[in-house]
Structure 1
């Protein structure tokens, strides 16, 4: 039972940490982000398993984490507003070529991040050619080009 509670606690802590870190953390991984992710995964593994390195312990931990994820998915599906609380809402960052600086600061996204997404998805190199740039729940930036 201790392993199940440990797995649930770690799951909730990681969910909270990534909620506080924001969707910016999911946008693009730098080498620093990769190193941090590796360190977090190692610390998480040690916290999840403790001194129990058995196959049974690992399976119980995995089942607990997957079950928790399924339960959160069901909560988002059936409880009104749960998805907005857990995953946030899409945020418009650029409207008609004009960056919305207050929203950019709130979600910690730069105009350079938007231009990278615009170049990669639409071949756009200027903010003025973007009708909308939207930070999606997933951390991806969607670009809608301006007409003409």
Structure 2
């Protein structure tokens, strides 16, 4: 039972941490982010398993994490507003070349982030060429080019 409680606690803590970190953390990984992710995974592994390094303990932990994830999926499906709270909603950052500075600041997204995505995905180099730039739930920026 201890392993199940550990798994649920770690799942919830990581969910809160990544919620606080925001979608910006998911946008692009730097070498520092990769190192941090490796350290977090090692610390999480130790916290999940404790002194039990058995295959049974690992399987119980994995099953618990999957069940908790499935429960959150059901909560998001059947509880109105839970999806927006847990995963956020898409945010329009640019409309017809106009930057929404307040939304960008809140999401910790810079104009350079938007232009980088526009260049890589569509070959666009100016804000005026962007009809919409949308920060998606997964942290990626979707660009809809202006058709003029």
TM-score band by shorter chain is over 0.9
Q: Deviations over 1:104-138 (max 9, x none)?
A: 00000011111111112111111111011000001
Taking the aligned partners of 1:116 and 1:58, their CA distance within structure 2 comes to: 41
Whether 1:25 and 2:25 are equivalent positions in the alignment is yes
Unmatched 5+ residue regions in structure 2? none
Q: Deviations over 1:47-66 (max 9, x none)?
A: 00011010000000000000
Unmatched 5+ residue regions in structure 1? none
Taking the aligned partners of 1:88 and 1:30, their CA distance within structure 2 comes to: 23
Q: 2:11 aligns to what SS in structure 1?
A: helix
Taking the aligned partners of 1:119 and 1:125, their CA distance within structure 2 comes to: 6
User: C-alpha displacement at 1:93, in angstroms?
Assistant: 0.5
User: C-alpha displacement at 1:2, in angstroms?
Assistant: 0.4
1:68-83 correspondence to structure 2 within 5 Å: 68-83=68-83
TM value normalised by structure 1: 0.98
TM value normalised by structure 2: 0.98
Structure 2 counterpart of 1:92: 92
The Cα RMSD (Å) is: 0.6
